[in-house]
Amino acid sequence: MPPATLKVFRGQAAQGDFREYRVDVDEGMVVLDVIHRIQATQAPDLACRWNCKAGKCGSCSAEVNGKPRLMCMTRMDIFEPGETISVAPIRTFPLIRDLVTDVSYNYVKAREVPPLRLRPPDADGKYRMMQEDVDRPQEFHKCIECFLCQDVCHVIRDHEEHKPAFAGPRFFIKIAGLDMHPLDTLNRTEFVRRQAGIGLCNITKCCTEVCPEHIHITDNGIIPMKERMADDFDPIVWLLRKFRGGRPEPA
Amino acid sequence: MAKPEYETHEHDVIVIGAGGAGLRAAIEAAAQGVSVGLICKSLLGKAHTVMAEGGIAAAMGNVWPEDNWQVHFRDTMRGGKMLNNWRMAQLHAQEAPDRVLELERFGALFDRTKDGLISQRDFGGHRYARLAHVGDRTGLEMIRTLQYHAIHQGIDVYMECKVERLLKDGDRVAGAFGYWRNTGQFVMFKAKAVVLATGGIGKAWKITSNSWEYTGDGHATALWAGADLIDMEFVQFHPTGMVWPPSVRGILVTESVRGDGGTLKNNQGERFMFNYIPEFFKGETADNIEEAERWYADKKNNRRTPDLLPRDEVARAINSEVKAGRGSPHGGVFLDICTRRPADYIRKRLPSMYHQFKELANVDITREPMEVGPTCHYVMGGVRVDADSTQATVAGLFAAGEVAGGMHGSNRLGGNSLSDLLVFGRRAGLHAALYAKNLGGTVTIDRAEVESVARAALEPFSRSGGENPYAIQAELQETMHTLVGIIRTEAEMRQALAKIETLKERARKVRVEGGRVYNPGWHIALDLQSLLTVAECTTLAALERKESRGGHTRDDHPYTDDTWGKVNVVLRLRDGRVQVSREPLPEMPAELRALFQERK
Ligand SMILES: Cc1cc2nc3c(=O)[nH]c(=O)nc-3n(C[C@H](O)[C@H](O)[C@H](O)COP(=O)(O)OP(=O)(O)OC[C@H]3O[C@@H](n4cnc5c(N)ncnc54)[C@H](O)[C@@H]3O)c2cc1C
Ligand code: SF4
Ligand code: SF4
Ligand code: FES
């Protein structure tokens, strides 16, 4: 393959700019490989995060040509030959340096979500769950916490002021996963409405579009949750739904 | 030079590493009511454990009621060619089922059997289908579950914080010293007990399934602090890593592909594993295709397919096929599941493999075979610990997970790591907390020592000339790969040792550009210390063991030798040099020994 030209964001919060690098590219390379090659040969202090190099850990999130993506799953051969490729840090979170941002917002939100409250086991001390009942929450457990959905969500992308009272799509599906968990007994409706701020979401679906795990964040997570909000304020209805096991189908 | 500045944190117990072992340890220590700090190099939830695919081995008997801890114990010991610490293997087999059920109570959602219990899948070396799993993303489920449980237990988490050295107060451990990756500022942790849960050393090899984190920091810091390491010659090359394209070489292809029906073939279309069944496993391995095929459904009356021999056997077989010219176009062999299982089944059972090959290699595994070859994957060797308490040979230091040695002997069975993390992570947290409670008082730390470590860490910034740390790392990886790889000889390993010496010399002169804020060049420069140390340890131990066993194959000593089956190779640092010795294995009690006589 011909050498590629990359414009990579370099610098810290106060000052920073794109810098151009020309790099040799081999067959099959992904953007993360090219960043590593730049580190090894041209800019040893170029900061980026990565771990698995296989789309499993969610560390290498960046905005490639303006689009939120995992660098390790973005192949170089999807770009036009000769095209200059821009690589920037995800924008919604404060910059630390180069491609690395401070994602601690997400760890704060994670801690706020009320955890699983376990129901008692069956008479023989075991927990039984049918595959049909775990299929739906399992979809949400696929989340690799790349935070690309958080990055792209307009509620917080350009609105610092919304951050304190908005959990973001990653945590909406975390909550949805807990609500659908066959062993859980906690009602999180009040939390979803107030602290998690689900009312601010207007279902633009941008989060679903960027999710590298192809989780149906809006259709299977947010929308059913919004729909249930009304019912769930009635604790009797909530209890009945939870323990009959029957759950309304997603829209 | 001015005195380097640093902040200080104090805990009863600090846990270094936030993979499965570290998280489980921190949870247990917190449950004992002591104050716990949890430190990790990456963000929380990104440790190696997140990448584990296949499953957690535990004899729950949900699929095969015949399964029990004795069978699991026996499989584990035989997989490790009897070099395992028998007591660790016993505790592991006995406690793994409870630990898996506990994970379920923390919220993990495993794939289910028809009766609504946790489903279990086949894996190499396990007599029965035994691996609790979630598709092929079991590690993700495990780390997320532990992580979300841990954050509600009052544990202080220090992310992107790298420990450089363990600190001591006289003979016992008293804390750790390191830096924040985000700022480059130094930080000291004072603690009565330290749990090491730092994972492995695979970044010392060129083709590896391991990430940048696996520079052997836990192994090296323990050695520097005076602790013994054992079994460092045993490095597991996983038989199936991706081989093409070059940029993905080494990325893991889970053993579940074979567990779920996939088979290995050479370029003649031959299922070559039938030609590589070693004497040791003849009794339990099918020697013809018909029996192997029947085994998937009827395990009682048939022997296991040789595709699922322990990893060391399969890796060597692939190596031989490729050398004999029967390899695939890009220097591996073929792994075929597409002609053997329906596309829907493959996508349901192996979604992330499907995705990985599709996106990274343009291969649709429901239609085409994969090309695979060995990749450095796991280190069996590690910190020598007491089986019950996980305490190292230095007081106050505990170790669990991949960084600890003994549990897996000379070769680890697939699925036995995730269970190891839970069993011994819990034990480490418990015993570290008990130790800290017993100790009382406070610890004192030698500030001069701390300051000299800090000064040394900053030196690369002020050097002029000097070398690029990336180049040294790459040379080391190349050296280990070609000279201390799957097949070893004395001459090559001597060459490797000489090379490591020169690399050490060069590492002392590395130069880094830029500042202290999130500077990967600097991080690599510092990691070279531990990486070179573990490379040397592996080579020294491998030179010492003059036989072939498990994850250690010598071309010049090709046979397994009973006298070597009675000793561990032990490494310790004395007067600045790594000393090598042979020490007898703990002796297995008669009632456990009897398990190996019963059936072949
Ligand atoms: C691709 C892949 C698939 C696998 N599949 C399976 C499987 O199916 N079943 C199975 O049983 N095993 C599997 N394994 C092996 C298993 O995943 C690992 O052995 C296991 O996860 C190691 O866990 P750990 O807790 O010991 O360490 P890790 O999960 O690696 O965690 C190490 C922690 O230590 C921290 N750390 C390291 N050094 C420092 C330092 N200097 N300072 C501060 N923190 C530090 C890291 O940041 C990290 O948090 C697989 C491994 C890989 C790579
Ligand atoms: S659908 Fe809602 S949560 Fe998702 S990006 Fe749009 S506003 Fe944000
Ligand atoms: S939901 Fe998808 S996009 Fe959001 S953090 Fe999880 S994996 Fe990433
Ligand atoms: S490096 Fe793990 S997702 Fe990209």
Q: What is the CATH number of the domain that holds A239?
A: 1.10.1060.10
| Minimum CA distance residue for ligand 2 atom 4 | A207
pLDDT at residue A228, rounded to an integer:
84
| Minimum CA distance residue for ligand 2 atom 5 | A153
pLDDT at residue B40, rounded to an integer:
98
B330 is a catalytic site residue: no
Catalytic position from the list B130, B165, B258, B431: B258
Residue A152 distance to chain B (closest CA, Å)? 20
CA B585 to chain centre: 21
Distance CA B82, CA B492 (A): 27
HSE on the CB side for B579, CA within 13 Å?
11
Nearest to B44 among A33, A41, A107 (CB): A107
With a 6 A CB cut-off, is A205 part of the ligand 2 pocket? yes
| Minimum CA distance residue for ligand 1 atom 38 | B198
A123 in the same domain as A42: no
Identify the band that residue A13 occupies on the pLDDT scale cut at 50, 70 and 90: confident
Distance CA B75, CA B284 (A): 11
HSE on the CB side for B403, CA within 13 Å?
37
Catalytic position from the list B48, B72, B130, B238: B238
Distance CA B103, CA B208 (A): 29
A132 in the same domain as A220: yes
B360 touches chain A (CB under 8 A): yes
Distance CA B281, CA B271 (A): 18
Q: Number of CB pairs < 8 Å for A and B?
A: 160
pTM: 0.95
Asked whether B173 and B397 are in contact (CB, 8 A), the reply is yes
A39 in the same domain as A126: no
pLDDT at residue A240, rounded to an integer:
66
A94 in the same domain as A131: no
B45 touches chain A (CB under 8 A): yes
Using the beta-carbon criterion (under 8 Å), do B107 and A73 form an inter-chain contact?
A: no
- For chain B, the residue count is 600
Cis before residue A250, ω within 30 degrees of 0?
Answer: no
A215 in the same domain as A149: yes
pLDDT at residue A154, rounded to an integer:
97
Asked whether B63 and B113 are in contact (CB, 8 A), the reply is yes
pLDDT at residue A249, rounded to an integer:
40
Q: Indicate which atom in ligand 1 lies nearest the CA of residue B256.
A: 8
A179 in the same domain as A69: no
Report residue B489 as tokens: 């000889």
**Contacts with B, A 44-63, CB within 8 Å:** 44-59
B527 touches chain A (CB under 8 A): no
Q: What is the DSSP string of B39-93?
A: E-SS-TT-SGGGG--S-EE----SS-TT--HHHHHHHHHHHTTT-S-HHHHHHHH
A147 in the same domain as A117: yes
Distance CA B200, CA B219 (A): 8
Distance CA B24, CA B38 (A): 11
Distance CA B571, CA B382 (A): 10
Q: Which residues of B touch A109 (CB under 8 A)?
A: none
pLDDT tens figures, A118-151 = 999 999 999 999 999 999 999 999 999 999 999 9
CATH of the domain at A84: 3.10.20.30
Asked whether B399 and B230 are in contact (CB, 8 A), the reply is no
CB atoms within 10 A of CB B233: 29
- Work out whether strand B36-39 and strand B156-158 pair parallel, antiparallel, or are unpaired: parallel
Residue B259 distance to chain A (closest CA, Å)? 20
CB atoms within 10 A of CB B114: 8
- Work out whether strand B397-399 and strand B186-196 pair parallel, antiparallel, or are unpaired: parallel
pLDDT at residue B388, rounded to an integer:
98
A220 in the same domain as A138: yes
Domain stop point among A101, A121, A140: A101
A134 in the same domain as A211: yes
With a 6 A CB cut-off, is B58 part of the ligand 1 pocket? no
Nearest CA in chain A to B252: A54
Distance CA B553, CA B561 (A): 12
Model confidence at A246: pLDDT above 50: no
Report residue B592 as tokens: 């456990």
With a 6 A CB cut-off, is B53 part of the ligand 1 pocket? yes
pLDDT at residue B441, rounded to an integer:
80
pLDDT at residue B464, rounded to an integer:
84
A110 in the same domain as A28: no
User: Helix, strand, or coil here: A60?
Assistant: coil
Domain stop point among A62, A84, A101: A101
- Across-strand partners of B370? B335
Backbone angles phi, psi at B389, to 5 degrees: -105, -15
A170 in the same domain as A49: no
A124 in the same domain as A62: no
Closest CA to B129 of B246, B312, B297: B297
For CA atoms B518, B519, B520, B524, the dihedral sign is: negative
- Render each residue's pLDDT in chain B as its tens digit; 600 residues: 567 899 999 999 999 999 999 999 999 999 999 999 999 999 999 999 999 999 999 999 999 999 999 999 999 999 999 999 999 999 999 999 999 999 999 999 999 999 999 999 999 999 999 999 999 999 999 999 999 999 999 999 999 999 999 999 999 999 999 999 999 999 999 999 999 999 999 999 999 999 999 999 999 999 999 999 999 999 999 999 999 998 899 999 999 999 999 999 999 999 999 999 999 999 999 999 999 999 999 988 999 999 999 899 999 999 999 999 999 999 999 999 999 999 999 999 999 899 999 999 999 999 999 999 999 999 999 999 999 999 999 999 999 999 999 999 999 999 999 999 999 999 999 999 999 999 978 889 999 999 999 999 999 999 888 899 999 999 999 999 999 999 999 999 999 999 999 999 999 999 999 999 999 999 999 999 999 999 999 999 999 999 999 999 999 999 999 999 999 999 999 999 999 999 999 999 999 999 998 654
Amino acid at B582: R
Model confidence at A235: pLDDT above 90: no
Collect all residues with Cβ–Cβ distance below 8 Å to A94 and sequence separation of at least 6. Answer: A13, A101, A102
DSSP 8-state secondary structure symbol assigned to residue B5: P
- The parent domain of residue A55 ranges over 4-101
pLDDT tens figures, A28-56 = 999 999 999 999 999 999 999 999 999 99
Domains and CATH numbers, chain B: 7-52+137-236+377-439 (3.50.50.60), 239-376 (3.90.700.10), 447-567 (1.20.58.100)
- For chain A, the residue count is 251
Model confidence at A248: pLDDT above 50: no
Give the ligand with the smallest distance to the CA of B423: 1
pLDDT at residue B289, rounded to an integer:
96
Q: Calculate the average pLDDT of chain A.
A: 92
Q: Which of A109-113, A227-231, B52-56, B124-128 has the lowest mean pLDDT?
A: A227-231
| Pocket lined around ligand 3, Cβ cut-off 6 Å | A 58, 143-149, 169-170, 173, 210-213, 215, 217
Report residue B367 as tokens: 């239609």
Report residue B93 as tokens: 């087999």
Cα(B197) to ligand 1 centroid in Å equals 8
Domain stop point among A72, A101, A130: A101
Asked whether B442 and B115 are in contact (CB, 8 A), the reply is no
Using the beta-carbon criterion (under 8 Å), do A51 and B46 form an inter-chain contact?
A: yes
**How many structural domains compose chain A?**
2
Amino acid at B501: E
Cα(A41) to ligand 1 centroid in Å equals 29
DSSP 8-state secondary structure symbol assigned to residue A54: S
